[in-house]
Structure 1
Amino acid sequence: MTPESTRTCDVVVIGAGPVGENIADRTTVAGLSTIIVENELVGGECSYWACEPSKALLRPALLRADASHVPGLNPAVAGPLDVAAVLAHRDRMSADWNDAGQVDWLRSAGIELLRGHGRLDGPRSVVVRTPDGDTVRVRARHAVAVCTGSRAALPDLPGLDAVRAWTSREATTARQAPKRLIVVGAGVVGTEMATAWQALGSQVTLLVRGDAVLPRMEPFAGEFVTERLREAGVDVRFDTTVSAAKRVGGAEDDLLVTLSTGEEIAADEILLATGRAPRSEDIGLETVGLVPGDWLTTDDTLTVSAVPGEWLYAAGDVNRRALFTHQGKYQARIVGSVIAARARGTAPDTAPWSGHSSTADVHAVPQVVFTDPEVAAVGLTSVAAERAGRRVEVVDYEIGHLAGALQYRPDYRGRARIIVDPERRTVVGATFAGPGVAELLYSATVVITGEVPLERLWHAVPAFPTISEVWLRLLETYRDRTER
């Protein structure tokens, strides 16, 4: 047995996804020696099993949907997608699941990579079990940052292991389109993968636990997506879940699924898109007084609240503040600056403008759902505002009334909604549903984060003819309503 070796550095980062990479970059630039620990691929979930491969699968489907409605193009895109070409593009966007490029970047940034499974072992100590079976103990002078992300949360379904169900990982990396695919869950993963695989030739059945697709967003967004899924051929079933599933004989090993309605349906694969859980069950949380498998609660400096000494940080999905790659990278920048400040003996300034406070996780979290049509949202929804007891006014505008939208697609259907605080006269939420609306989201995020008064927004002139002209129409609608 190889004896344990010991290393010492300023900062240890557990997890080399986008979040961990950004923390390590910031601390290294600040002059702190940093070791990053990774037991899978450098680049993490987003690069290989989530954002990159899923958008590579979706882009051809969405582009064809737009082109099929454009005069002069629609006959040219009437045929099926070239599945092999789409999957090859997906593979390229995922770097063929080879992290050599990411490893080279770490090296160029002066960040040391230690491959293996990292576990906390008391304050400022991480034990790493390497692929060769060696054990390396790394002691951190200043900080340890946990960036282990999240995994698919699976339902308590009898015989689940034998079913060989897909999670988001299998859905984004499959080598061929299944003839029949059941998707359980109608959140972001469920609706995006239903969109992608239906376009790639699968017959998709989407099972929705409640009465709405994308239930956490404005209802009209889910209604638009449901309509287009059905037009594309997806069998959308509301108030339906899975009560049992099993593989049954035959060379193809068919899947037989029993629904909560009592009906049985056959499929080739089943995707369980039923939520996320933290990857924290085996990272040594018990050695610092925390519960394995729990989310890590932090304050706004991303310091783990229940651990004394201000040395343990958690960023990205594992802290459950906002489960998006862009928010995790935002948090990473804050963690890096906070660790650097404390290492200098300086207390971080937690004012919102200091760069040491993770306020965007609460006030303005942007999200895009890359379905047909796209859905983009930031800030409060009307329901969230009502639950919070906020007095707000809801302003809607049909995007299809805009010349820019009709140039995009002659039969354009979509809607924009802003949530206005009438006392402060600022926008506190925005949702857009329609083709191409993802590019409207940053302007909405700036408006909400910057608390831009409506009176100033009048002087932000949108170009004609673009979909961004919807901002002018929303302001006009609100003005006309309030001046009656």
Structure 2
Amino acid sequence: MSETEWDVIVIGAGAVGENVAGRAAERGLSVVIVENELIGGECSYWACMPSKALLRSSSALRAARAVPGAREAVTGEVDVAAVFARRDSFTSGWDDSSQVEWLQSAGIDLVRGHARLAGERVVHVTSDDGAGRELTARHAVVVSTGSTAAMPDIPGLAEATPWTSREATSATSAPASLAIIGGGVVAAEMATAYTGLGSTVTLIARSGLLGSSEPFAGELVGSALTDAGATVLIGRSPVAVRRLSDESVEIDLDDGSTVSAAEVLVATGRSAHTADVGLETVGLTPGDWLPVDDTMLVEGFDWLYATGDVNHRALLTHQGKYQARAAGDVIAARALGSELSTEAWGTHVATADHAAVPQVTFTDPEVASVGLTAAAAEEAGLDIRVVDYDLGAVAGSSLHAEGYSGRARMVVDEARSVVVGATFVGPDVAELVHAATIAVVGEVPLSRLWHAVPAYPTINEVWLRLLETYGRPAQ
């Protein structure tokens, strides 16, 4: 490839970078994407897809055992080798050929290598063989490099060769025992997955489980993990880690106790993947998150954009793709001198990142939420009313599974009589969250939600029960 100049350069070919590139190319711009790993990125190979594949088989088995008639047909345990083989099918064996074909079909050029900013609209790429080349953007450079696992400063931890989310989702077998440091989504999901795969799991969560969710979410997930055989240690902190052998790690805790395991997984958050992308050449600090406006333009620039995890707005693939669509439209409109109007370009800005973000944690039970928690709404100064309902009391729940247990919460802004947050905890509640997302994003008045009649008998009937508990508002 002899080209050196494109309309748009995208650094990072994960799901978000691909969407920026695709959107800009659809609008008629020339686009090149630069990647030094696999095309498709974290979500395709080390996060969303492989993690959910590891979780699904055990989840399906638990679901079957919760329904009489199906329960009696279950004669064995999860086939662990088959679970890993299925996981491999979703990652295409860590082969990105199909993703490369998609780029080609979309008219997007690909340069493999490590990209670093080298000045205004200039990107230097170093290939694996050490060769370098310079790319220039006529209009925009988009940083979509994502995030990396944060490594806490615990004596001995780095030397103990711990797992991060990447090792957890790409492992070829389940360790006999696994200690997990952290209490967030990755920690809870991997505790669920490896407990289901037969590992003896110890979860060490200093500040509780799923701390950004409603408190009852972490409580219900923690209880379920304990019931499944995991050990959940809340309020404990590691103070030292020692690798004794290839299959033995010891973790000293602040209460004087010690946890032993074959492997240790660190799941204590994420860091911006910007340490070596040349931020210093344009006056930014390496390793920092990149703050942006709602069009994904980096503050202080008219050509530099940042989409996905790297801007620290919402570290979720679906929100990153949403940002990517916004950025691609805006870049094209600005490049082509068009008005930034919905009518002309379908252009939108990423306003949903602020208070309408949906998320599902695929634990058992699942946690599905959108918008603000009660605590976040109060912190934002809203006059709220919180409405809770027992999901197990809904007719569709008892049909779905014997002994169904769960909880739903609706957070209402009393001044506007609209839902600003909703959380569901229970088996298969992931399928409830989009209705809640529409209610929150659409700012649908409660008086109108009464006329969104849920089909009977489904778990969605919880919407009717939440509204009844709230009481019919004035028309």
Q: Same fold (TM over 0.5)?
A: yes
The one of 420, 427, 432 aligned to 2:424 = 432
Q: Give the Cα separation in 1 of the matches to 2:137 and 2:59.
A: 47
Q: Distance in 2 between matches of 1:404 and 1:383?
A: 30
Structure-to-structure mapping, 1:65-464, within 5 angstroms? 65-77=62-74, 79-210=76-207, 212-249=208-245, 252-307=246-301, 310-349=302-341, 355-464=347-456
CA distance in 1 between partners of 2:254 and 2:400 (Å): 42
Name the aligned partner's letter for residue 242 of structure 1.
P
One-letter identity of the residue aligned with 1:114:
V
Per the TM alignment, residue 73 of structure 1 is displaced from its structure 2 partner at its CA by 1.9
Question: Residue by residue, what CA displacement relative to the aligned partner does 1:220-255 show, whole Å, maximum 9, x if unpaired?
Answer: 111111111001000001111111111125xx5421
Structure 1 SS opposite 2:370: strand
d(CA) in 2 for partners of 1:76 and 1:260? 46
Q: Does structure 2 retain, via aligned residues, the 8 Å contact 1:147–1:315?
A: yes
The answer on whether the counterparts of 1:301 and 1:350 sit within 8 Å (CA) in structure 2 is no
Paired position in structure 2 for 1:468? 460
Where structure 2 has 5 or more consecutive residues not aligned to the other structure, the ranges are none
TM-score computed with the length of structure 1 as normaliser:
0.95
Q: How many residues align?
A: 473
1:349 Cα deviation after fit:
4.8
Worse overlay, 4-13 or 232-241: 4-13
Q: Is the 8 A contact 1:6 1:136 kept in 2?
A: no
Q: Answer whether contact 1:80 1:200 (CA < 8 A) is retained.
A: no
3-state SS of 2:192 partner: helix
Deviation at 1:198, TM superposition (A): 0.6
Instruction: After superposition, give the CA deviation of every residue in 1:460-481 in whole Å (9 maximum; x if it has no partner).
Output: 111111001111111111116x
The answer to which of 217-226 and 46-55 deviates more is 217-226
Distance 1:49 1:115 in 2: 19
Identity %: 57
Taking only aligned residues, the RMSD between alpha carbons, in angstroms, comes to 1.7
Q: Distance in 2 between matches of 1:357 and 1:437?
A: 29
Alpha carbons 1:254, 1:266 under 8 Å: kept: yes
Q: Which letter maps to 1:314?
A: A
Give the superposition deviation at 1:75: 3.5
After TM superposition, give the deviation of residue 78 of structure 1 in Å: 5.7
- Segments of structure 1 that go 5 or more residues without pairing to the other structure are none
User: What TM-score do you get using the length of structure 2 for normalisation?
Assistant: 0.97
Q: Distance in 2 between matches of 1:120 and 1:348?
A: 27
Counterpart residue number, 2:28:
31
What amino acid does structure 2 have at the position aligned with 1:432? F
Q: Is the contact between residue 68 and residue 78 of structure 1 (CA under 8 Å) also seen in structure 2?
A: no
Distance between the aligned counterparts of 1:217 and 1:139, measured in 2? 43
Q: Distance in 1 between matches of 2:223 and 2:101?
A: 45
Deviation at 1:348, TM superposition (A): 2.8
Superposed CA offset, 1:6-46 (max 9, x none): 70111100000011101111111111110000000000000
